[in-house]
Chains A and B, each alone.
Chain A
């Protein structure tokens, strides 16, 4: 096997191992916390008999490890368990919402990635001059804002003051594509703004780092045009760091989407999670938390794999 493939396989295996460890943290770590789930659900006034009944029903009387493996086995076969608060099947409740969340995050990614790379390139190309200062200054302020603040500012001005878009992102099954797009336009704008700043700044830094290499000076001293220097000599070496940046920021979207969905009352995974944290519905929180963590880890693995594939030293070993 080519040594690069070995590395890639190793990285993926390591990622899966990490995911397993994360599932243990989410389940066993929470079980070890000083808190009584049954008590939390029934409240302080519950009778001991009611508590005991609930514990048996939830399987809380079994050892944590047994419960963990049952849970894990269920997840691997598509059974995410049952919600405590409304007794519905979690997998069924999630499927619709997962699609909605992916729709939202997907559009945010499709818009923000090319935009961030373009702005990052511009800022790097005019490093230290006004286009750079303008782009960097504008992004500095969005970095200092939490997602929900950006959300409300956008909502207040675009939806309420100027009435350009709907303020609540209502989507439902059977909705047409255009309607759907119109509904999510505000949350998409917010997510783009939030991710764009980080992604653009990191892209700029990655490109500047490559542009400072000695081989770029060599290329300039060869009398190449600036476009050829960037395209032929900088680009192949900047791909890996830039892709890495993009992946890491898409992982960041995972967090952003939770908050943005709450701001716009969007029926996605994030709002589902937040609602059930408030209801202390542990099975839902654990299942949804694991899905978010899996997406996050998956994106990180992809970032690493792409870095490995783009590295000429690894692709062409001695």
Chain B
């Protein structure tokens, strides 16, 4: 066995939680986790939110956020237990032996200091090298990580460069003092999918070239499969499974790991054509006081009872399209036909039936429900407002809807704060269904949820479509979700529809450049996918 760099034994981490109106209590964040990283190896930590993966990552620097306490076990780095060293030795270790790459580099860089000074700060402080040498190394790393104009990049301030560039700069900052171990804490999660693959490739190459060991933390198994040698699967602070990447991906032992591997593999056969319930014709839109069109001449059809997925990255105009359809942003030009009639451009001019038949579900269920209303009030209001239901009839219908979203009894009097993320989104679905709509606009409804919960929501949406015959306009940036649910797909880029048609046609070659880039950037659950894609792109570039 190779020489061990980091050895964590029976780690236990606790924190004190302060629930309002109740006495404070201790909660266990990490329970009896053991793991080790050999020199030059990469360990992936994977799990849903609350699995304790970031807590473990930071504990290897003997750092705990907001009152987190290490209450048991040992953490051995380079042969000594870092829980026992004094503050001075700890500072000598942080930023020298172990460095950290945060999820949001935009927040993690100091806005008042030039990038170069921040990148080489540890080199100078820990006396790893002199200023000239450190700057040369930083420029070399900038180049290796594919940053533009590496010579002058360091002169800029954080707000002057893009999010993807900052994430690479943070990687350079972590690698600059030649550490033994780098902790990557969801470094690509906040990025668009086409940017993610570039940053991921840059990180992987930099890890490989410098021979550094790494802890790679993420919730996305497909991503970690590209960079890690071994994977530790965590859930609720406990270890689920630990093994080589190959074994975890191809032969997962635990049911939970199996579920993670097979996530996003819902198969949905597209429906045959039907008359359109929604027709968007030559729609152009811009926001008040701005000078350019966010939507440019959009024409799309959505057949009744089917799903049109609108795919695009941030800034593509996909959410603006939803605002135009709902009437929140009247289009500059073009018209919208719905269920055989023309919809008035502005919300105020629409009839009650227009409003009832187009419903909306939001990305953040948290902010989509009034925290001061019970589930019963939230679902009951459309029943009362559109159908005049009252008393027992209303209550009975609310219960029917709760049954439909598989939530059963006992939820009617609860407040949103008492529900889990998945349950909240289900209540939002029930509120939309209560209006008996012909069309539901789903705006990134699964992107804030953990993968398994998201799968549950998608299955529910498919089942409801089969039962109620409602059409979905499904806005998302996630192509795996699109595969799972769409009958038709529209790919949007900078306010234009780049590609539109039946799912099988859109996802089959020949592709336009952007769709090809987008499709090839979605991580796949297999090892070597990243190299394959990059190789393919290099060949294509050479061919041109």
- A touches B (Cβ under 8 A): yes
Shortest CB-to-CB span from B58 to chain A, Å, is: 8
The interface bits of chain B over 233-262 (1 if a CB of A lies within 8 angstroms of the residue's CB, else 0) are 000000000000000000000000000000
Asked whether A74 is an interface residue with its Cβ less than 8 Å from the other chain, the reply is no
Chain B stretch 70-114: residues in CB contact (< 8 A) with chain A: 90-96, 99-100, 102, 104, 107-113
**Which of these, B90, B107, B112, contacts A236 with CB under 8 Å?**
B112
Verify A223–B126 contact, CB threshold 8 A: yes
Minimum CB distance partner of A235 in chain B: B112
Asked whether A61 is an interface residue with its Cβ less than 8 Å from the other chain, the reply is no
Q: Which of A75-83, A178-186, A310-318 contacts B (4 or more CB under 8 A)?
A: A310-318
Size category, A interface? 20 to 34
Shortest CB-to-CB span from B163 to chain A, Å, is: 14
Asked whether A215 is an interface residue with its Cβ less than 8 Å from the other chain, the reply is yes
Minimum CB distance partner of A239 in chain B: B112
Asked whether B121 is an interface residue with its Cβ less than 8 Å from the other chain, the reply is yes
Verify B110–A233 contact, CB threshold 8 A: yes
Q: Which residues of A contact B65 (CB under 8 A)?
A: 217
Q: Which residues of A contact B94 (CB under 8 A)?
A: 220-223
* Complexed CA–CA distance, A54 and B270 (Å): 93
Verify B159–A313 contact, CB threshold 8 A: yes
The interface bits of chain B over 46-59 (1 if a CB of A lies within 8 angstroms of the residue's CB, else 0) are 00000000000010
Shortest CB-to-CB span from A208 to chain B, Å, is: 13
Asked whether A44 is an interface residue with its Cβ less than 8 Å from the other chain, the reply is no
Q: Which residues of B contact A222 (CB under 8 A)?
A: 94-95, 99, 121-122, 125
Asked whether A213 is an interface residue with its Cβ less than 8 Å from the other chain, the reply is yes
Shortest CB-to-CB span from B461 to chain A, Å, is: 35
* Complexed CA–CA distance, A278 and B142 (Å): 72
Verify B63–A318 contact, CB threshold 8 A: no
* Complexed CA–CA distance, A82 and B58 (Å): 72
Asked whether B362 is an interface residue with its Cβ less than 8 Å from the other chain, the reply is no
Q: Which residues of B contact A225 (CB under 8 A)?
A: 91
**Which of these, A215, A223, A228, A316, contacts B110 with CB under 8 Å?**
A215
Shortest CB-to-CB span from A22 to chain B, Å, is: 30
Asked whether B61 is an interface residue with its Cβ less than 8 Å from the other chain, the reply is yes
Verify B159–A312 contact, CB threshold 8 A: yes
* Given A222-B121, A224-B125, A312-B157, CB of A215 within 8 Å of CB of B109: yes
Q: Which residues of A contact B104 (CB under 8 A)?
A: 214
Verify B108–A316 contact, CB threshold 8 A: no
* Complexed CA–CA distance, A125 and B129 (Å): 32
Verify B112–A237 contact, CB threshold 8 A: yes
Asked whether A218 is an interface residue with its Cβ less than 8 Å from the other chain, the reply is yes
Among B90, B99, B110, residue most surrounded by chain A Cβ atoms (within 10 Å): B110
Shortest CB-to-CB span from B302 to chain A, Å, is: 39
Shortest CB-to-CB span from A195 to chain B, Å, is: 28
Shortest CB-to-CB span from B122 to chain A, Å, is: 5
Asked whether B272 is an interface residue with its Cβ less than 8 Å from the other chain, the reply is no
Verify A223–B111 contact, CB threshold 8 A: no
Shortest CB-to-CB span from B170 to chain A, Å, is: 8
* Complexed CA–CA distance, A187 and B90 (Å): 50
Asked whether A219 is an interface residue with its Cβ less than 8 Å from the other chain, the reply is yes
Verify B160–A223 contact, CB threshold 8 A: no
Verify A223–B125 contact, CB threshold 8 A: yes
Q: Which residues of B contact A223 (CB under 8 A)?
A: 90-96, 122, 125-126
Chain A stretch 183-202: residues in CB contact (< 8 A) with chain B: none
Verify B96–A318 contact, CB threshold 8 A: no
Verify A219–B126 contact, CB threshold 8 A: no
Chain B stretch 132-180: residues in CB contact (< 8 A) with chain A: 156-157, 159-160
**Which of these, A214, A221, A316, A318, contacts B95 with CB under 8 Å?**
A221
* Complexed CA–CA distance, A213 and B110 (Å): 9
**Which of these, B108, B125, B126, B160, contacts A217 with CB under 8 Å?**
B108
Shortest CB-to-CB span from A7 to chain B, Å, is: 16
Number of CB contacts from chain A to chain B under 8 A? 72
Chain B stretch 324-344: residues in CB contact (< 8 A) with chain A: none
Verify A219–B90 contact, CB threshold 8 A: no
B-side interface residues, number (CB < 8 Å): 30
* Complexed CA–CA distance, A214 and B110 (Å): 9
* Complexed CA–CA distance, A316 and B65 (Å): 32
**Which of these, A215, A220, A224, contacts B111 with CB under 8 Å?**
A215
* Complexed CA–CA distance, A316 and B112 (Å): 10
* Complexed CA–CA distance, A14 and B91 (Å): 49
Q: Which residues of B contact A217 (CB under 8 A)?
A: 65, 102, 108
Verify B107–A318 contact, CB threshold 8 A: no
Q: Which residues of A contact B122 (CB under 8 A)?
A: 222-223
Verify A220–B63 contact, CB threshold 8 A: yes
* Given A214-B107, A313-B159, CB of A221 within 8 Å of CB of B61: yes
Q: Which residues of B contact A312 (CB under 8 A)?
A: 111-112, 157, 159
Minimum CB distance partner of A316 in chain B: B157
Shortest CB-to-CB span from B215 to chain A, Å, is: 13
Verify A224–B91 contact, CB threshold 8 A: yes
The interface bits of chain B over 437-475 (1 if a CB of A lies within 8 angstroms of the residue's CB, else 0) are 000000000000000000000000000000000000000
Q: Which residues of A contact B90 (CB under 8 A)?
A: 223
Among B104, B109, B125, residue most surrounded by chain A Cβ atoms (within 10 Å): B125
Minimum CB distance partner of A222 in chain B: B95
Q: Which residues of A contact B156 (CB under 8 A)?
A: 316
**Which of these, A220, A228, A236, A318, contacts B113 with CB under 8 Å?**
A236
* Complexed CA–CA distance, A224 and B63 (Å): 13
The interface bits of chain B over 113-125 (1 if a CB of A lies within 8 angstroms of the residue's CB, else 0) are 1000000011001
Verify A237–B108 contact, CB threshold 8 A: no
Verify A215–B108 contact, CB threshold 8 A: yes
Verify B160–A215 contact, CB threshold 8 A: no
* Complexed CA–CA distance, A222 and B122 (Å): 6
Verify B110–A237 contact, CB threshold 8 A: yes
Q: Which residues of B contact A313 (CB under 8 A)?
A: 111, 157, 159
Minimum CB distance partner of B122 in chain A: A222
Shortest CB-to-CB span from A165 to chain B, Å, is: 44
Chain B stretch 15-61: residues in CB contact (< 8 A) with chain A: 58, 61
Verify B110–A318 contact, CB threshold 8 A: no
Verify B107–A213 contact, CB threshold 8 A: yes
* Given A225-B91, A312-B157, A316-B157, CB of A219 within 8 Å of CB of B110: yes
The interface bits of chain A over 291-302 (1 if a CB of B lies within 8 angstroms of the residue's CB, else 0) are 000000000000
Minimum CB distance partner of A238 in chain B: B112
* Given A218-B108, A222-B121, CB of A316 within 8 Å of CB of B91: no
Minimum CB distance partner of A213 in chain B: B107
* Complexed CA–CA distance, A251 and B65 (Å): 38
Shortest CB-to-CB span from B142 to chain A, Å, is: 18
Shortest CB-to-CB span from A218 to chain B, Å, is: 5
Q: Which residues of B contact A213 (CB under 8 A)?
A: 107
Among A220, A221, A233, A316, residue most surrounded by chain B Cβ atoms (within 10 Å): A221
Verify A318–B109 contact, CB threshold 8 A: no
Among A214, A215, A217, A318, residue most surrounded by chain B Cβ atoms (within 10 Å): A215
* Complexed CA–CA distance, A219 and B90 (Å): 14
Verify A221–B100 contact, CB threshold 8 A: yes
Q: A215-B111, A228-B125 are in contact. List 7 more A-B contacts (CB 8 A).
A: A222-B94, A223-B90, A223-B92, A224-B121, A224-B125, A236-B110, A312-B111
For this complex, 11 residue pairs linking A to B, each with C-beta atoms less than 8 Å apart, are: A214-B107, A214-B108, A217-B102, A218-B110, A223-B93, A223-B125, A224-B121, A224-B125, A237-B112, A312-B159, A316-B159
What is A's interface to B at a CB cutoff of 8 Å? 213-215, 217-225, 228, 232-233, 236-237, 312-313, 316, 318
What is B's interface to A at a CB cutoff of 8 Å? 58, 61, 63, 65, 90-96, 99-100, 102, 104, 107-113, 121-122, 125-126, 156-157, 159-160
Q: Which 4 A-B pairs have the closest CB atoms?
A: A223-B94, A222-B95, A214-B107, A223-B95
